Amino acid sequence: MRRKDIMSLFSAALLCSGQIPGIAAGSVETLPDAQTRDTIVTISPLFGWDRNEMKVRGERGEVKKETDTAPEYGLFFLLVHKNLVFTDFVFLTDVNDTDVFGNFAFLNLYGDQKTRISWNVGAGHLYHKIKPENENITVSVPMLKAGMLINIPEWHLRVNPYVGYAWERVETQRADVDNDSYLYGLTVAWRWRMLAATVKYYYQDSQESDDDYQTVRARAHCMFNAHWGAVIRFDYMEHVTSNDTSILFGPVYVF
């Protein structure tokens, strides 16, 4: 199987759940304020839909666009202890007749939250098991990131520009493909009382591919009391031969 064919299969099956390197690299919005308790645990089951637009070649060689919308199920876990933030997201879906299981885990360490300018470093790992017809694809992507943490308390904002690197390895039944990438990202997080919103943007500079990609991600949640709330999240992601748009909803429980 040619490298381009492998990457096309892989990208067509990807979903907007944090599976592209760097998309969840930086959970700055989850840091507790200086006046709150040191440890926070959050669990959020999610449900929604993913719309996949894939470019395919017709019988005469012309490029056509096919679309497919499928349900997506996920479970998000968060652990915050002082300036250390661990997140894990597990998801399952079936898009374009392809079963996809994935897990993304990331550990972030932040500097002093009380200063205007601080720092952030993080490490993560992405895993996918993708099963199109007559194929079995495994994706493993360890990654690192580092950046600044800018606090603007009078506006209830935290801004986290960062750079990173991802070592992507795709294994199939016929061949293996490496496609490492530089990552350039920006996270802007706003929180006020029981409301919070986050917008993330990143640019993926592929080293083994001729194409680069962009991702926009937004999340908003509202807490009804100290333990229960609701969340909605939106993702738009560009891949080798496809684009994905997803919307997920779910409750939030805080321990």
pLDDT for position 56: 62
| Cβ atoms of 66 and 99 closer than 8 Å | no
More confident site: 43 or 28: 43
Give the three-class secondary structure for 239.
coil
Closest CA to 45 of 215, 225, 252: 252
What integer pLDDT is reported at residue 190 of this predicted model? Answer: 92
More confident residue, 20 or 122: 122
Domain boundaries, the chain: 3-254
Residue 61 has pLDDT above 70, yes or no: no
Q: What digits encode the pLDDT tens for the residues 180-205? A: 889 999 999 999 989 999 998 888 88
Whole-number Å distance between alpha carbons of 128 and 100: 7
Pairwise CA distance, residues 200 & 181, whole Å: 18
Would you say the pTM of this structure is higher than 0.85? no
Tell me if 34 sits within 8 A of 201, measured CB to CB.
Answer: no
Long-range contacts of 174-179 (CB under 8 A, 24+ apart): 174/1, 174/6, 175/1, 175/3, 175/6, 177/3, 177/6, 177/7, 177/208, 178/208, 179/7, 179/206, 179/207, 179/208, 179/209
pLDDT for position 73:
92
pLDDT at 22: 30
- 169 or 157: whose pLDDT is higher? 157
pLDDT at 205: 86
Q: How far is CA 233 from CA 198, 200, 221, 228, in A?
A: 9, 11, 9, 17
Topology annotation, domain 3-254: Lipocalin (2.40.128)
CA dihedral 55, 199, 70, 76 (to 10 degrees): 130
148: tokens are 């600044």
pLDDT over threshold 80, residue 216: yes
The mean of the pLDDT values for the chain is 79
How far is Cα of residue 250 from the mean position of the Cα atoms in its chain? 17
Least Cα distance to 114 among 146, 147, 158 occurs for 158
What does the pLDDT average to over 143-162?
A: 93
Q: ∠ at Cα 7 (5, 11), nearest 5°?
A: 120
> Between the CA of residue 196 and those of 29, 84, 216, 230, what are the distances in Å?
8, 19, 17, 11
Share of the chain above pLDDT 70, in %: 80
Quick one: pLDDT at residue 242?
64
Entry field: residues in the chain: 255
